[in-house]
Structure 1
Amino acid sequence: MCLLQPFNHPLFIAVKKIAPALAAGNSVIVKPSELAPVSVLEFAEMAEEAGLPKGVLSVLPGYGATTGKELVSNPIIRKVDITAGTATGRELGAIVGSNLAMFTAELGGKAPIVVFNDADPVSAANGAAFACFVASGQTCISGTRLIVQDEIYDEFMRHFLHKVESIRIRMGHPLNPQSTMGSVISLKQLERIQAIVQRKGKGTGKIVAGGERMTGESALDKFDFSQGAFFPPTVITNVSTEDDLWREEVFGPVVVIKRFSEEQEGVRLANACKYGLGAGIWTQDLSRAHRVAADIEAGLVWVNTHHRNDPSSPWGGMKESGVGRENGLEAYEAYTQSKSTIVNIATAKETREVQDWFAYDGESRRYG
């Protein structure tokens, strides 16, 4: 089994894959992200010290385009499980398919968060901030499209923007436990985020918070932001559904916001995207919650919360967000293959009488 890991949540995501693979009796090779390999390497050493036989779990750091591609191309690999962007998933999936191996892929996301009029505005604003900006927005299920109903829109935005500003002014040294949000993974990623935000697609969108790389000193602890790849929580309103900011995964602390009137319009906006990994709903109407959750095209739907992960429940996407599921029995079974063994338990005498297909007894026989 070959497991390919991303840089975000490197150990957590690795363990989600390693545990069912080992439990099903497989030997596993893990390629961690070249940007964050250390925790997975340390885990493999700890597993061996705890008694896992040597060679059952191997970790091979390297670049995805070279090491990762070589691994999944090897015909002795009978299953590949990746967490990556959709383009990478397509490329590697084609290689895996050519080897007739099994494939699980958790890919890109562009999670909508639909806030209805009856939601508690403070809870919804706090929950949306958590959904959008935890891990600096670098998760596949990060809330990236806020879809807010008309009557609650102004009050929600007041609370949400206040929370966004409170996050920004309390950013500081990454090792300061009081700091609210850290940097993005690299300067290259920061430049990509800034380019997308500043382009704002086809002339749509208004930046109401953030939007520029952070430099200068932190108000929290005087940390020099120019030493890292820091981008503030960024909020953009009035973005067209044809804009890249609405359609493409930014993978940073950037959220776009649209308002809607009727329930079906909210669902339509939530589904107006090629991705379908995670989604959030904020409402106090349980019937509406179930109805909308069923209509939203996403493999994971949270109601009045976000990012919660039950290890026993399936985790995976629809549309261009991947194939297969992680977590629970589905993940375990995905690391196995079923086999049928048919045994004749009749006596030799009965077998002679019943199973001589070409006997000279004149009786007609039927196959099946």
Structure 2
Amino acid sequence: MALNASKRLQAQLNVRQRYTAFPKLLQLESQGGSSNEFSVYDPATGEALCSIAEPSAHDVEAIVKNAQSAFESGVWSRAPAIHRSKTLAKLARSLEEELPTLAQIETLQVGRTIREMKAQLGRLPEWLDYFAALLRTEQGYVAPTQGQLLNYIQRVPLGVVAQITPFNHPLLIAVKKIAPALAAGNSVIVKPSELAPITVLRFAELAQEAGVPSGVLSVLPGGAAVGRALVENPLIKKVDITVGTQAGRSIGSIVGQNLASFTAELGGKAPIVVFNDADLVSAVNGVAFASFVASGQTCVSGTRIIVQDKIYDEFLAAFLQKVENIRAGMGNPQEPSSTMGTVISEAHLERIQRSVKGTKGKVVAGGERMTGTSSLDGFDFSQGAFFPPTVVTDVPLEDDLWREETFGPVVDVFTVHMQTEAEGVALANDCKYGLGAGIWTTDISRGHRIAAEIEAVHLGADSRKVASAGKME
């Protein structure tokens, strides 16, 4: 029944049976193109959504050369800023119209709940609007110097830019990377995750329909071999990636050999420190959101919960009740009231389960894949990659579950009661990652003080009087 409903939804959303690289170059067709194909699956049902013709090394080279030709032609790279601005603004309006459909496709290909995807995609047009506006207001800068000289700074495009994006936020992260690169006049080639390429391919079509010239925005759907062939190409002037830490190291070493610019957002193991004076209800809700949004599959997911001694027992009891409410509310990800979706694949679920089984900590909630049917809507969990929100206590500091990224709905609640601020900071910083962190306190001074001491790029401090404190790269 669920499979039939999924098929009907695919048809309504015009999900094609087969996709190829974008744009589909005539020379690729004449030379046979790719012979390898893979399928994209709905992780909630295990059903194949479509097949993808994976680009060969020859295909990748042809796409890069086509992007370089577009750049050298000046049709976009030397177009007036006002023209690029109008095109991006038009693309923003086209994206706005497509958002309801794109949100449903995102839920189909990644298994996240539809309410998450609608909320996430709802603001994407603003990224395009922002950079469209920036093009209209950007001014050159005359720098001070000595003598009869005119010293000024002018922003110019780099050339062909390669971007590698992940499965967890397929369109969000792609648009955040694409918008500024296009605004600057670059040619952009995106290699989306092979697990979730459909919406990025559709966005490229929307861009061309809005007036972005052919070859200026290209998409290469495929796996690691495609990504490697792309970043190895000497015509690539910048590489921007959001990937796992190991993949980031590998890509960085390749990019370095070509002396190309490199931006990388990699893994995380975010701590959340809850102090005794925190508002309990707000802290529980906030920690649950940070830990289980996207089924814990975000690089800034709250995974190490460090709770001060006097609030610990009350916090844990309330948090476990919240976790049970989330689990009980899980169902079909397309159901608007469903609380949490799947993880991305069966293989990823098995890796999460191995991580939980290998811990020396105590699993107090979840820990096993979900089977049976949903109490919310009768959806059959056994067909998909459903893993419940999971809480582990008594985790040793040397345990892999404390130190390594799980990338799933699994959190460690630290039970060696933290008494002082210094202990909380030390535990938060006891990690090789430094991407995100959170603080819960009603003391404004403490919020800013601890924010300065925790080693993280993105940090939020919540109190009744101050919304956030943060750090910047």
Contact kept, 8 Å, 1:127 with 1:304, in 2: the verdict is: no
- Tell me which of 394, 414, 432 is aligned to 1:238: 394
Amino acid aligned to 2:311: I
Match of 1:328 in 2: none
CA distance in 2, matches of 1:151, 1:136: 29
The structure carrying a bigger helix percent of its residues is 2
- Tell me which of 314, 328, 333 is aligned to 1:169: 328
Q: Over aligned residue pairs, what C-alpha RMSD do you find?
A: 1.4
**C-alpha deviation, 1:314, in angstroms:** 8.3
Amino acid aligned to 1:21: A
SS in 2 for 1:96: helix
| Structure 2, unaligned runs of 5 or more | 1-160
Match of 1:139 in 2: 298
CA distance in 2, matches of 1:269, 1:314: 19
Looking at both structures, which has the greater relative contact order when contacts are Cα pairs under 8 Å and sequence separation is at least 6? 1
Structure index of larger Rg? 1
Contact kept, 8 Å, 2:447 with 2:462, in 1: the verdict is: no
Query: Superposition pairs for residues 1-368 of structure 1, below 5 Å?
Result: 1-64=161-224, 66-200=225-359, 204-258=360-414, 259-304=417-462
SS in 1 for 2:163: strand
Amino acid aligned to 1:220: L
Amino acid aligned to 1:50: A
CA distance in 2, matches of 1:15, 1:159: 37
Amino acid aligned to 1:230: F
Amino acid aligned to 2:182: L
Contact kept, 8 Å, 2:188 with 2:217, in 1: the verdict is: yes
SS in 2 for 1:222: coil
Deviations 1:191-223 (A, max 9, x none): 0000010110xxx31111000000011111111
CA distance in 2, matches of 1:206, 1:232: 16
CA distance in 1, matches of 2:383, 2:271: 33
CA distance in 1, matches of 2:409, 2:315: 19
CA distance in 1, matches of 2:384, 2:438: 31
Return structure 1 stretches of 4+ with deviation > 4 angstroms. Answer: none
SS in 1 for 2:236: coil
CA distance in 1, matches of 2:308, 2:471: 30
SS in 2 for 1:100: coil
Aligned-residue sequence identity (percent) comes to 69
> Structure 1 length normalisation: TM-score?
0.82
Deviations 1:289-322 (A, max 9, x none): 11111111100001129xxxx9xx987xxxxxxx
| Change in 2 beyond 3 A, CA 1:314/1:29 | farther
Between Structure 1 and Structure 2, how many residues are aligned?
306
| Change in 2 beyond 3 A, CA 1:184/1:104 | same
Amino acid aligned to 1:222: G
**C-alpha deviation, 1:284, in angstroms:** 0.6
**C-alpha deviation, 1:30, in angstroms:** 0.3
| Structure 1, unaligned runs of 5 or more | 316-324, 326-368
